[in-house]
Structures are given as structure tokens and as C-alpha cells.
């Protein structure tokens, strides 16, 4: 008895409909929910297509609902967090709605990004198998291009290793992954936690990962060897909102305590990475070089004085000429600590400064590690987090 949810905002409609078709035909799925960001054109077109299929001579084998997300957060931007939390609320009450014809409360909710082109029934099966084995949470993980996942590596994994080194958090493979499955007791806990319900923006994935670890829920990370083929972003600037919101989510938790107990956490072994992924470049390097010089203000120059002098000097130089070799792992971690103490999410100067610091970090990583090949780059990411985790664990 599972619900599969696809949160969506504006996506390629045939891909979404194809994914709905796959989910509705899975034997463990009782209902599919499309959680829409708003009633935009994409919402109307998808609703129309679902209604037509449902009324046809060949309807879906299970109910498919299209619902606009509720406004659950208060202060933060309404975004994917409201979408996912609205789906959790729908999941809890789905069996009480007569139109769904469900005979018992649903036991598991799965989330999959609506734009996954490589989605197939194996994603659902692996998560279902994990929960049948008794895991509270199953997260999917998959190989990614070495220039992808730079919010995950530089922000979330570094933050987890810095703040909660002796816990399971730094070991979570893809803590911002949107493909995951929760059992009912986890959903109950998440919805009773105001930190989660308030997290209406991109920070929701951080909160789900963190709160599950803090509550000691067992976690299986299921490996999907085919990777996640999905719509690509243009330049790094597209990621600015996500970067700032994911950083602020970690920052909002920095004083929280997580028990360093032996939470059950299994990670499926990964397999050889296909060439289509090892050879892919995830962002436009030339365009990103220009970002370092953009949108400087006098106030950002003032804020720079809070940083160690080598970082100040480096960013000042970068405002004139694309310099980034100063932003190595060590400098990034020192800068990260300054942001943890001072960053303000709704202050545009802080957002822009964090963004440029991160661009310098991503360029540094690209030129020093990605150039030497996929595996060297992945190793450099892992080393950065694991060295930090070890150093902080020993100091704790």
C-alpha cells in the first residue's frame, strides 16, 4: 500500500505522464499523487491529460490525483518544501477520502522528481524491497557527472561533516536527493516537527535527511546504476537560489544536537559508472568565469572584512579578473565557518557573496580535480568530506 508522489513545477509533460504510467502499473502502488507548485499551464495540461486517460476505456489501474500544494511554511519562500510536505499530509489522510476507495491507511510514500527520463519500475521496487526488509527510510543514489552535485558536496556534505562529524550524516551519499521513500511512522514524525513543516523551500531535503538521522531512523541507500537522466541547468547562476536555501537550512540547524549512536545505515555498493556520465560536463565553465565579476556592491566589499585575509584578497582579486585558485578545500571550509556565523538568507548582499564564493570553489575544484578525470574528481570530493569528518571527530 504505497503512494508515489511526483512534485512538479514546470516540466516536460510527456516525461511526467510516462512516469505516472510506470508508477500506476507497479503492483505495490495504490495511488499516485502529482503535487503541483501552482496552477500554471503545466498543471492545467497535466490535469487535462490525466482526466482524459481516467475517463477513457483504458484508465489507470489506480487513482491519480493532481493537487496544488498547500502553503505550509510561513517565513520562507514557497517552493518544493511546501510541495513535499503537502504530499505527506495527503498521504496521511488519503484513505479517508471516499474517491480514493482505499481500504486502509497507506504505509509508504515514495518521492521521485517528475523530470527523470530514466525512471522505471526498478526505482519503486528497490525502495519497496528496502522497507520490506525493515528500513524506515530508503534513499536512492546514483552516479552523477563530476561537475554535478556541487551544492551537495560543497554545502551539505561539508556542513554535515563540520557540524555533526560523529554521526551518520556525513556518510549519507546524496543528502539532497529527491528520490526516497518513507514509512508511515517517519511521515508522522516529520509532520509533527515544526522545523520540517516550516521548511517550504529547497531546504526541505536537508531537513528530511537531518530529522531522520536525529531520530535514529534506519536508512538504506539503494544504488540506481543507470543514473538520473533529467533536464540540465544552464549556468551556475541557475543554482543560486538552491545554493542559498540549502546553505541556510544547514545554518538553521547548526546548534542542534545529534546523538552519535549507531544508527543502522546501509549503502548498496555502487557499480561501474557508464561513460555517458563520466564524460558529461554539468555546467558552462566560460560563462561561470564571468560570474565572479558580477553584481559587486560596496556592502559586499565591507562584508568581506569578516573573512580571513587570504579569502578577502582572493575574492577582491576575483572581482576584477577570474581568480579562483585561492579557494581550495581549506579556504572553503574557513569561509564556510564565517558564513555559518553571519549569513542572512533574505539579504541580497550575503546571498550574492555566498554565491560568488561558491562559484570560486566550484571553479577551483573543476580546474584542479575534474581536469584530471572523473575518478580523481570524485575522490577529491570524498577526501574533502572524509578528512574534515575525521579531523572534527577527533577534536569532538
Q: How far is the CB of 82 from ligand GDP (least distance, A)?
A: 6
- DSSP-derived 3-state class of residue 391: helix
Q: Which is nearer to ligand GDP, 86 or 218 (CB)?
A: 86
Element at 18 (helix H, strand E): helix 13-24
Question: Strand order in 64-68's β-sheet?
Answer: 64-68, 29-36, 2-8, 108-111, 180-183, 137-141, 219-223, 265-267
| Residue 33 dihedral angles phi and psi, to the nearest 5° | -120, 130
Q: How far is the CB of 13 from ligand GDP (least distance, A)?
A: 12
Q: How many CB atoms lie within 10 A of CB 135?
A: 22
Q: CA-to-CA distance for 273 and 57, rounded, in angstroms?
A: 42
Annotate 191-230 with DSSP letters as a single string: HT-HHHHH--STTHHHHHHHHHHHTT--EEEEE-TT----
Q: Which is nearer to ligand GDP, 82 or 323 (CB)?
A: 82
Q: Which is nearer to ligand GDP, 115 or 329 (CB)?
A: 115
Element at 2 (helix H, strand E): strand 2-8
Contacts with 337 (C-beta within 8 Å, 6 or more apart), sequence order:
162
Q: Which is nearer to ligand GDP, 187 or 327 (CB)?
A: 187
Q: How many CB atoms lie within 10 A of CB 149?
A: 18
User: Applying CB under 6 A, which residues contact ligand GDP?
Assistant: 7-9, 11, 35-37, 69, 79-80, 83, 113-115, 178, 230
Q: How far is the CB of 79 from ligand GDP (least distance, A)?
A: 4
Q: Which is nearer to ligand GDP, 150 or 214 (CB)?
A: 150
Q: How far is the CB of 17 from ligand GDP (least distance, A)?
A: 13
Q: Which is nearer to ligand GDP, 68 or 317 (CB)?
A: 68
Q: How far is the CB of 132 from ligand GDP (least distance, A)?
A: 26
Q: How far is the CB of 243 from ligand GDP (least distance, A)?
A: 11
**Radius of gyration over every alpha carbon of the chain, rounded to an integer in angstroms:** 21
Q: How far is the CB of 83 from ligand GDP (least distance, A)?
A: 2
Q: How far is the CB of 9 from ligand GDP (least distance, A)?
A: 4
Q: Which is nearer to ligand GDP, 176 or 388 (CB)?
A: 176
Q: Which is nearer to ligand GDP, 11 or 136 (CB)?
A: 11
Three cell numbers written together for 23: 508508477
Helix-strand-coil split of the chain, %, nearest 5: 50, 10, 40
Amino acid at each position: 500500500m504505497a503512494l508515489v508522489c511526483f512534485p512538479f513545477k514546470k516540466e516536460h509533460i510527456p516525461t511526467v505522464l510516462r512516469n505516472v504510467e510506470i508508477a500506476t502499473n507497479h503492483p505495490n502502488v495504490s495511488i499516485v499523487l502529482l503535487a503541483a507548485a501552482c496552477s500554471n499551464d503545466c498543471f492545467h495540461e497535466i490535469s487535462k491529460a490525466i482526466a482524459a486517460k481516467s475517463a477513457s476505456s483504458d484508465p489507470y489501474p489506480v487513482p491519480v490525483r493532481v493537487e496544488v500544494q498547500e502553503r505550509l511554511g510561513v517565513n520562507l519562500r514557497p517552493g518544493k518544501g511546501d510541495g513535499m510536505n503537502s504530499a505527506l499530509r495527503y498521504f496521511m489522510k488519503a484513505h479517508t477520502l471516499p474517491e480514493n476507495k482505499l481500504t486502509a491507511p497507506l504505509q509508504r510514500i515514495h518521492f521521485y522528481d517528475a523530470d527523470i527520463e530514466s525512471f522505471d519500475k526498478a526505482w519503486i521496487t528497490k525502495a519497496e524491497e528496502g522497507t520490506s526488509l525493515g528500513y524506515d527510510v530508503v534513499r536512492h543514489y546514483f552516479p552523477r557527472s563530476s561537475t554535478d552535485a556541487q551544492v551537495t558536496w560543497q554545502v551539505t556534505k561539508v556542513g554535515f561533516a563540520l557540524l555533526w562529524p560523529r554521526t551518520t550524516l556525513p556518510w549519507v551519499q546524496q543528502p539532497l536527493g529527491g528520490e526516497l521513500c518513507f514509512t508511515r511512522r517517519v511521515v508522522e514524525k516529520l509532520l509533527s516537527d515544526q522545523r520540517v513543516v516550516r521548511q517550504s523551500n529547497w531546504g526541505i531535503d536537508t531537513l528530511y535527511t537531518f530529522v531522520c538521522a536525529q531520530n535514529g531512523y534506519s536508512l538504506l541507500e539503494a544504488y540506481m546504476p543507470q543514473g538520473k537522466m533529467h533536464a540540465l541547468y544552464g549556468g551556475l547562476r541557475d543554482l543560486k537560489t538552491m545554493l542559498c536555501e540549502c546553505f541556510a537550512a544547514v545554518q538553521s540547524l547548526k546548534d542542534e544536537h545529534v546523538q552519535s549512536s549507531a544508527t543502522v545505515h546501509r549503502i548498496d555498493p555502487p557499480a561501474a559508472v557508464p561513460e555517458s556520465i563520466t564524460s558529461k560536463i554539468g555546467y558552462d565553465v566560460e560563462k561561470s568565469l564571468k560570474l565572479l565579476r558580477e553584481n559587486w556592491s560596496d556592502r559586499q566589499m565591507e562584508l568581506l572584512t569578516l573573512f580571513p585575509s587570504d579569502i578577502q584578497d582572493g575574492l577582491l582579486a576575483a572581482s576584477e579578473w577570474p581568480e579562483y585558485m585561492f579557494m581550495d578545500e581549506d579556504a572553503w571550509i574557513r569561509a564556510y565557518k564565517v558564513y555559518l556565523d553571519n549569513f542572512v538568507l533574505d539579504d541580497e548582499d550575503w546571498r550574492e557573496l555566498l554565491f560568488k564564493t561558491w562559484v570560486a570553489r566550484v571553479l577551483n575544484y573543476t580546474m584542479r580535480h575534474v581536469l584530471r578525470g572523473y575518478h580523481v574528481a570524485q575522490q577529491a570530493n570524498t577526501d574533502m568530506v572524509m578528512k574534515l569528518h575525521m579531523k572534527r571527530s577527533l577534536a569532538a
